[in-house]
Amino acid sequence: MSHYTEPPVLDLAPDRPGPLTREAVTAFDDQGFHIQRGLISRAEAESLAEEFMQIASGGPIPGHFEPRSSDPGAADPLHTYPRIMHPHLVHRRSMDYLLDIRITDVVAQLLGEEPLACQTMLYFKPPGARGQSLHQDNFYLRVEPSTCIAAWVALDIVDRDNGGLQVVPGTHRMEIFCPEEADESTSFTREHVPPPPGLEAVPADMEPGDVLFFNGQVVHGSGPNTTTDRFRRSFICHYAPGSTRRIHGGYPTARLSGQRLQLPEAEGGGPCGTEFDVAPH
């Protein structure tokens, strides 16, 4: 894998029509999330999943992919298949999708302004893997004065059996909550935000190539993958509004043209989810 430093320049013509219907934008504003079905082709999703499996078979990438075991039968499958952090910094196709016009056009329409690209992640979630307890993304990114937005790309069939994502509609209108301690037997990360009174998590079942867009305040998470033979791989991109003034320093931010930005660092935050096997900070 080579370091990729020259992302493509995108056409950001202001008169280009947005990809979402008015109803979809209204639903996002009301619920805090929207699933765009088939935004990426199924063949692309499957190809990208296979490419990430090849990356995993290649061994550690310091600072990005750090497995603790090479044994597919390890007691904790996440020791063999941990998530990849910021793959776009070392993997060209990840950068391509972070800046993919099909995704960034939707984000721009939902934000009402040009997005800034600030993170990618790849979750393998192999059979038997724990999930990630309910949380809010902007607890970690600390985008100010607004919030971030996620584009969560399904690379496999995503359902309740293999630990599909759940979202709590309406929490995008709320502030950042102070998390409780998660259940280590079901979550690999420490933070847990229970749904506020009167609200509940709903499943976001998806097909390969579907993309779930959600506001950075939205409470969301997933349970364990209870299947014996199905991964639940997902590629996640995070964006911030172009008007962002501060963000946590762990998120290298750039315009969609590829121009790097050095924004002042926000207080608090950290990587997306503090893992139980890593000392909290």
Per-residue model confidence as pLDDT tens digits over 113-157: 999 999 999 999 999 999 999 999 999 999 999 999 999 999 999
Q: 17 pLDDT exceeds 70?
A: no
Average pLDDT of the residues in 39-54: 97
Task: Write the CB contacts of 147 (distance below 8 Å, at least 6 apart in sequence).
Answer: 138, 172, 215, 216, 217
Q: What is the pLDDT of residues 203-230, one digit of tens each?
A: 999 999 999 999 999 999 999 999 999 9
State the pTM of this model.
0.92
Average pLDDT of the residues in 241-266: 95
> In this predicted model, which residue has the larger pLDDT, 259 or 14?
259
Q: Where are the domains of the chain?
A: 22-55+82-261
Share of the chain above pLDDT 90, in %: 88
**278: confidence class by pLDDT, cuts 50, 70, 90:** low
Share of the chain above pLDDT 70, in %: 93
β-pairing, 211-215 vs 33-36, is: antiparallel
Task: Write the CB contacts of 6 (distance below 8 Å, at least 6 apart in sequence).
Answer: 258
Q: Summarize the chain as % helix, strand, coil (round to 5).
A: 20, 25, 55
Angle between helices 101-111 and 22-31 (to 10 degrees): 70
For position 3, what pLDDT does the model report?
A: 36
For position 4, what pLDDT does the model report?
A: 32
For position 168, what pLDDT does the model report?
A: 98
Polymer length in residues for the chain: 281
Average pLDDT of the residues in 239-259: 95
**71: confidence class by pLDDT, cuts 50, 70, 90:** confident
Give how far Cα 121 sits from Cα of 178, 198, 236, Å.
24, 31, 5
Domain 22-55+82-261, second-level architecture: Sandwich (2.60)
Strand partners, 150: 214, 238
**9: confidence class by pLDDT, cuts 50, 70, 90:** very low
Strand locations in the chain (E): 33-36, 84-85, 115-123, 149-154, 165-167, 180-181, 191-192, 202-203, 211-215, 220-222, 234-241, 253-255, 260-261
Using an 8 Å Cβ cutoff, are 166 and 33 in contact?
no
Task: Write the CB contacts of 251 (distance below 8 Å, at least 6 apart in sequence).
Answer: 118, 119, 141, 238
DSSP string, 125-156: --TT--B--SB-THHHH--BSS--EEEEEESS
For position 267, what pLDDT does the model report?
A: 93
For position 13, what pLDDT does the model report?
A: 47
**72: confidence class by pLDDT, cuts 50, 70, 90:** confident
For position 255, what pLDDT does the model report?
A: 96
For position 1, what pLDDT does the model report?
A: 41
Using an 8 Å Cβ cutoff, are 148 and 111 in contact?
no
Q: 7 pLDDT exceeds 60?
A: no
Q: What is the mean pLDDT of the chain?
A: 92
Average pLDDT of the residues in 251-272: 93
Helix or strand or coil: residue 222? strand
Handedness of CA 281, 215, 87, 50 (dihedral sign): positive
Average pLDDT of the residues in 17-33: 93
For position 277, what pLDDT does the model report?
A: 72
Highest mean pLDDT among 2-11, 174-183, 269-278: 174-183
